[in-house]
A and B are shown apart, each in its own frame.
Chain A
Amino acid sequence: MDPFKPTLTSEAQPEAPNEAQAQQAALQSIKQLGQTGTADDGASPYHCLTIIGQIEGHMVLPPRNKTTKYEHVIPQLVAIEQNPKIKGLLIVLNTVGGDIEAGLAIAEMIKSMKTPTVSLVLGGGHSIGAPIAVAADYSLIAETATMTIHPIRLTGLVIGVPQTYEYLDKMQERVIQFIVQNSRIKLEVLREMMFRTGELVRDVGTVLVGEEAVRVGLIDGVGGVAEAIERLHQLCGAAQGEGGPH
């Protein structure tokens, strides 16, 4: 039997007195300590990391941007990885991209974690969001979510010298390699999508919506939070089977 399936009602009945006991304990806690409970009360074994807005890197972005600050996310990942109480990590993405180095840093951290990780792209996982999405052990995309694959460029600057072009090319190669190594997508397919014309206004690139991202092999499956949590249960079960994630 799947240990993570919700138990039947007959088995759930004995929980009623436990609930009363828990309430009693909570009341006791309020009386004695003036607080509603200790950190352990009903704590989720999974942590949820949201990657939102712009991924802020070496430059502090103006306050009108919503940002994900990488210098804050990285130590959080360290804390999650070394905390034995945290059994898994759910990464929820709704990002428009951002700093390449910061994005790749977060992606590399997630990739190298032993703690089971599942990513869920909601809304958008564009540009540098793509490597972060594929870095997790299992990646999911919502049906209506989109991912834009496009080349790296310097807006407003004409690339005049070959060195500039080569530098951009090198940066782009880092992103491409990371995505290819961490998903099922083929190098040629990704490159072709990046430079496709006729799909984006004023730009080259490809917009993938939900299912399409799965079909090309970028993302593992279509789903929402239920599928993400279920997958974490499975991954955690597998990890515990071989001696636990820690």
Chain B
Amino acid sequence: MLYTVVPLEDVLDGIEEDPPQLVDVVLGGVLLQVEPLSNFSYRVERVISSDPQAYLNLQYQPGSIIRWT
């Protein structure tokens, strides 16, 4: 249930578009759900970890790009 000043139709604009395909990768012992981009890079979608410190790691913040080398 949303409690917001933004009209619902604006919030939900684009909800019918296909969501990006996510893959799970383990990086530095932390499981990440990432969206594969072109040329061996990934965009972090979310962290799945029971270690709270993993969520403070700047590299793992949602939206950050990880380059596979």
B14 in contact with A62 (CB, 8 Å): yes
Is residue B26 within 8 Å, beta carbon to beta carbon, of the partner chain? Answer: no
Map CB proximity to B onto A98-119 as digits: 1 under 8 Å, 0 otherwise.
1111010000000000000000
With CB as the reference atom, state the residue of chain B lying closest to A171: B1
Cβ contact within 8 Å between A97 and B55: no
How long is the Cα–Cα vector from A22 to B38 in the complex, in angstroms? 41
CB of A71 within 8 A of CB of B46, answer: yes
Contacts of A189 in B (CB 8 A): none
Identify which of A60, A63, A99, A150 contacts B5 (C-beta below 8 A).
A150
- Determine how close the nearest CB of chain A comes to the CB of B25; give it in whole angstroms: 17
Interface residues of B (CB under 8 A from A): 1-9, 11-15, 17, 19, 46-47, 49, 52-56, 61-62
A-B contact pairs, 30 of them (CB 8 A): A54-B6, A61-B11, A62-B13, A63-B14, A69-B46, A69-B62, A72-B47, A72-B55, A72-B61, A72-B62, A76-B55, A76-B56, A79-B53, A79-B56, A96-B5, A96-B6, A97-B2, A97-B5, A97-B6, A98-B2, A98-B3, A98-B4, A100-B3, A124-B5, A148-B5, A152-B1, A155-B7, A155-B8, A156-B9, A175-B3
